Structure 1
Amino acid sequence: MYLRNNFTIFLLAVTLLMFCWMGTALCDDDDEGLGEASGGVMQGWQSDFNLDNRIFADQGENSYFILKPGFQIVLADEDDRVTLTVMDETREVGNIMTRVVEEREEEDGELVEISRNFFAIDADNGDVFYFGEEVDIYKKGKVVKHEGAWLAYEGDALPGLIMPGSPKIGMKYYQEIAPGKALDRGEVISLTETFKTPAGTFDNCLKTKETSGLNPLEKEYKRYAPGIGQIQDEDLLLVKYGYIVEE
């Protein structure tokens, strides 16, 4: 009887512990899920960048991001093509003068999207911030929607960090902070990649993993070469880069 009672108590204790553990795990998962589903900023990812104490410039560069008028990067695979061009154009966003970077996306030779992205660089440490984008999505040559557009300081939207001036492995930061619209996040996972593209082989490349606070299941990998910038976006590889020469 004594042994049976003690064994019963033991089973009850183990069961109670299991329920407590499961409850904690479920609560943790639910907390994260609710945060993601509601389109809010999650803990563990930097979202406060002390913007009020920074001096911004509308052009400049760091090791992995060139923000100077005329610089262009072309990424492509057999079917698709993305052209990124730093324009000789600025846009004021929330009292900050930003530089316009045009992104043109083509699929099977057909234009599918043009976005005008707004960036500014910290003049002291080279951090590049993303202030939003205007988006035109095309179908058969006509604009059909503007999905993904957002602008810092409209509603709850704030600038995000698109490229640190001094990236370090393990850095995790929001690239876009527009709850309910755009919550892309970047994580630095390597600074020593060697990567081959049609435009050349590059050493000491930065590799990032990007995810979205709006869809935690989505992820993609990008690489950036020193002195050039982006050289890979999933299957799209660098095929051309440099300053546009006016004829």
Structure 2
Amino acid sequence: MKKVLLLITIFASLLACSNDDDSSTPSNNIPDDLPDVSQVTFTSPTTITNNYFGPKTTGTIYVYEAGDIGEEPEEEIRIEIRTNTKTVMGVTCFIQHDVVYKDGILIEDTDDWIAEDDNGNLWYFGESVKNYDDDGDFEDNDGSWEAGIDDALPGYWLPIAPYVGQTYHQEYWEDEAEDYAEVLSTNETVTIDLGTYQNCLMTKDENPFETGEYEIKYYAPDIGFIKEEKYVNGALVEMEQLVEIIE
């Protein structure tokens, strides 16, 4: 059984330093709705039971299409679970592999590091990102981060029992990665090309560094993420939806 003690260590160190320096410390900036990873255990972190996540096992690929409203989809996104794992902050994470193609050319290749605690909450421990230009040439690793490095901390990928009004940070790396979500509904009916899904989770996801932009995401029970709507200044501008499950 593993118990992550990073935050306790951070807080203890900051308290010790406060005797000599009354200036503000990083701990003052940690959001109140950042889940406390030091208070949970990860006995079987790569076993996925969270009802709103998918795919849960290797060998299954989720295929999505995305594009601007009013236009034909220009992006294809493929998501699957890798067979290998990644250890972050002492926790063994499963790896969600996410690739994005634009007009058939690879433009992004990402590994997300996720672990499930003993209560069923899914934690987001970071990601490794490779970005490519429109010709398929490597550009950079912008967007990459890892919990436990440079004071970055994990947050919820998905809580086990979301409720309307709940807010939670998905990550916290000050001034770099501070995405957060709010639960808007847990009983949405959502129709996509694959069918109609009942009792869906609906969240509003925001990045504080992208003013006026937010995403509405939908998760179907026993399936996972099925649809995303992107809004800019209140206007719907992009949509992504699940179009195929390959098993």
Which category of TM-score, normalised to the shorter sequence, fits these structures?
0.7 to 0.9
Aligned AA (1:71): T
Matched-pair contact (CA < 8 Å) for 1:73–1:230: no
Matched-pair contact (CA < 8 Å) for 1:82–1:106: yes
Aligned AA (1:96): V
Tell me the CA shift for residue 41 of structure 1.
4.3
**Which is richer in helix?**
1
Aligned AA (2:51): S
- In structure 2, C-alpha distance between the alignment counterparts of 1:143 and 1:59, rounded to whole Å: 33
1:145 corresponds in structure 2 to 140
Q: Give the counterpart of 1:76 among 62, 65, 73.
A: 65
1:239 corresponds in structure 2 to 243
1:21 corresponds in structure 2 to none
1:14 corresponds in structure 2 to none
Gaps of 5+ in 2: 1-28, 67-72, 230-238
Matched-pair contact (CA < 8 Å) for 1:176–1:184: yes
Matched-pair contact (CA < 8 Å) for 1:87–1:102: yes
Structure 1 window deviating more from structure 2 (95-104 vs 80-89): it is: 80-89
SS of the counterpart of 2:49? strand
- In structure 1, C-alpha distance between the alignment counterparts of 2:192 and 2:151, rounded to whole Å: 39
- In structure 2, C-alpha distance between the alignment counterparts of 1:216 and 1:161, rounded to whole Å: 22
SS of the counterpart of 1:159? strand
- In structure 1, C-alpha distance between the alignment counterparts of 2:89 and 2:171, rounded to whole Å: 15
Q: Give the counterpart of 1:209 among 194, 204, 207.
A: 204
1:88 corresponds in structure 2 to 83
- In structure 2, C-alpha distance between the alignment counterparts of 1:126 and 1:68, rounded to whole Å: 16
For this pair of structures, how many residues does the alignment match?
A: 201
Structure ID, larger Rg = 1
Matched-pair contact (CA < 8 Å) for 1:73–1:240: yes
2:124 corresponds in structure 1 to 130
Q: Give the counterpart of 2:51 among 63, 67, 72.
A: 63
Q: TM-score if structure 2 supplies the norm length? A: 0.76
**4+ residue runs over 4 A deviation:** 40-43
1:181-231 superposed Cα distances (whole Å, 9 cap, x missing partner):
211111110111111111111111111000013334321111000000000
Q: TM-score if structure 1 supplies the norm length? A: 0.76
Report % sequence identity: 31
1:4-53 superposed Cα distances (whole Å, 9 cap, x missing partner):
xxxxxxxxxxxxxxxxxxxxxxxxxxxxxxxxxxxx5445xx11324343
Tell me the CA shift for residue 102 of structure 1.
0.7
1:161 corresponds in structure 2 to 156
Q: Give the counterpart of 2:193 among 194, 198, 218.
A: 198
Matched-pair contact (CA < 8 Å) for 2:35–2:169: no
Tell me the CA shift for residue 151 of structure 1.
0.3
Matched-pair contact (CA < 8 Å) for 1:74–1:84: yes
Change (3 A) 1:119 1:79: same
Instruction: Say if 2:167 is the partner of 1:172.
Output: yes
Matched-pair contact (CA < 8 Å) for 1:42–1:213: no
Aligned AA (1:69): T
